[in-house]
Amino acid sequence: MFVLVTGGMGYIGSHTCIQMIESGMTPIIFDNLYNSKPTVLDRIEKVSGVRPIFIEGDIRDKQALAQVFAQYDIQSVIHFAGLKAVGESVEKPLEYYDNNVHGTLVLVDAMRDAGVKSMVFSSSATVYGDPASVPILEDFPTSATNPYGRSKLIVEECLTDFQKANPDWSITLLRYFNPVGSHPSGELGEDPQGIPNNLMPFVAQVAVGRREFLSVFGGDYPTKDGTGVRDYIHVMDLADGHLAALNHVGSKQGLHIYNLGTGKGNSVLEMVVAFEKASGQKVAYKIVDRRPGDIAECWANPAKAEQELKWKASRSLEQMTEDTWRWQSNNPLGYPQS
Ligand code: NAD
Ligand code: UFG
């Protein structure tokens, strides 16, 4: 089965491609390399034994997409491509709406022209805003507090309206909680450009000596130890969740929404301790002011995905931290340029 994977050179997309290849699917990667490097293809080949088909292109380029749909008999699209930095989205809202919202509309339009009616979309737990309670269920109210989150929410709403008007389509919205970890081989992982925004890559860079200390954003939240609590999910579990979505609802007409999380919450300090144990390195930290826009705690109720997709996150916190460390220590500066 040919599956178009937009953004397949990125962090979550590359891990998903490996799992797809292992299960006999054929990913066709479409990526403009804005936030990824060509070396990712070599690494996917090294780990899986297969070099995926790669087309360098932008999802806002309808002609380029039309060519891909004309060339390959594509059954479904997994749509990862997009910009994802919350802080940057506040500075550059137009770029975020253009890439994430306009880009998705062009992609859906190209799919419609080609008669491809199945899409799995990368959404985010950010669409729940500041939830009134935890664990979070799929029918909780949604809201946005920054342009990145709003772009995800707008896309969810556009896809919902579109599916309603085109009931023979299958559209799946996967709301990821906090993806961490890397492929157990240590060949693929998260490779942020510049200073990492997210906790795990920052912790890993402190452990490997690239940064002096971690700033812990807030020690006075109403949580178990005062620091923020999140549902960290191994990227390989997340990758498997996409396969489960394709297999169980990818050809079932309708709009399908699932939380992809573990159902457990860990604090920032628990993550630091777990990482120190996995790496054998000290992770220096300082507690500083809260980061504007952060919420105290957030974790999923993943029961719906378990029931309907027959999928459940199985990898432990130890695996998340050990795999991150293997990737970081083997590739202290991330992927080489080419
Ligand atoms: P990433 O930046 O590593 O990967 C995204 C890929 O998309 C990159 O390779 C980039 O070059 C490509 N891309 C961006 N704009 C494009 C365009 N216009 N045309 C073609 N390719 C384009 O990000 P990721 O962490 O792998 O995230 C994948 C998706 O999951 C994103 O949509 C993101 O918003 C969503 N998501 C990520 C997280 C997270 O914490 N990583 C959490 C929730 C949701
Ligand atoms: N944190 C620190 N120091 C840092 C970075 C983060 O203390 O240097 C803390 C945060 O305050 C938060 C926790 O670590 O309590 C996790 O922060 P991340 O930035 O790693 O993740 P967020 O939960 O803020 O957001 C992430 C993605 C969003 C996505 C959301 C839900 O960045 O895009 O998960 O999926 F929407």
For 241, the domain range is 2-180+233-261
Residues with CB under 6 A from ligand 1: 6-7, 9-13, 31-36, 58-60, 80-84, 99, 103, 122, 124, 176, 179
Residue 209 within a domain: no
- Do 261 and 41 form a contact (C-beta atoms < 8 A)? no
Residue 95 within a domain: yes
Nearest bound ligand to the CA of residue 65: 1
Instruction: List phi, psi (to 5°) of 246.
Output: -60, -45
User: pLDDT at position 66, please?
Assistant: 98
- Do 30 and 69 form a contact (C-beta atoms < 8 A)? no
Prior bond to 302 cis, omega within 30? Answer: no
pLDDT tens-place string over residues 38-61: 999 999 999 999 999 999 999 999
- State the Cα–Cα distance between residues 284 and 213, nearest whole angstrom: 5
pLDDT tens-place string over residues 214-235: 999 999 999 999 999 999 999 9
The total number of structural domains in the chain stands at 1
Q: Which of 89, 268, 320 to mutate to test the pocket of ligand 2 (most atoms within 8 A of CB)?
A: 268
The residue whose CA has the least distance to atom 5 of ligand 2 is 199
Please tell me what DSSP assigns to residue 167.
T
- State the Cα–Cα distance between residues 158 and 154, nearest whole angstrom: 6
Q: Which residue has the tokens 């936030």?
A: 35
Q: Which ligand 1 atom minimizes the distance to the CA of 126?
A: 43
- The answer, yes or no, to whether residue 338 has pLDDT greater than 80, is no
CA of 307 to the centre of ligand 2 (A): 28
DSSP-derived secondary structure for 53-65: EEEE--TT-HHHH
User: pLDDT at position 150, please?
Assistant: 98
Residue 291 within a domain: no
Residue 175 within a domain: yes
CA of 35 to the centre of ligand 1 (A): 8
Residue 203 within a domain: no
- Give the pTM: 0.98
Q: Residue 155: give its domain's CATH number.
A: 3.40.50.720
The mean pLDDT value for 161-181 works out to 98
Of all residues in the chain, the percent with pLDDT exceeding 70 is 100
Please tell me what DSSP assigns to residue 333.
T
Cβ contacts of residue 151 below 8 Å, gap of 6+?
A: 82, 89, 96, 97, 99, 100, 101
pLDDT tens-place string over residues 83-116: 999 999 999 999 999 999 999 999 999 999 999 9
pLDDT tens-place string over residues 112-132: 999 999 999 999 999 999 999
Residue 303 within a domain: no
Looking from the CA of 101 toward its CB, the CA atoms found within 13 Å total: 18
Residue 279 within a domain: no
Structure tokens at 75: 């059954």
The residue whose CA has the least distance to atom 21 of ligand 1 is 31
User: pLDDT at position 337, please?
Assistant: 85
Which residues are catalytically annotated?
A: 148
Residue type, 242: H
DSSP-derived secondary structure for 96-144: HIIIIIIHHHHHHHHHHHHT--EEEEEEEGGGB-S-SSSSBPTTS--B-
Among candidate residues 219, 338, 223, 205, the one with its CA nearest the CA of residue 281 = 205
Q: Residue 115's CB: how many other CB atoms inside 10 A?
A: 8
Residue 227 within a domain: no
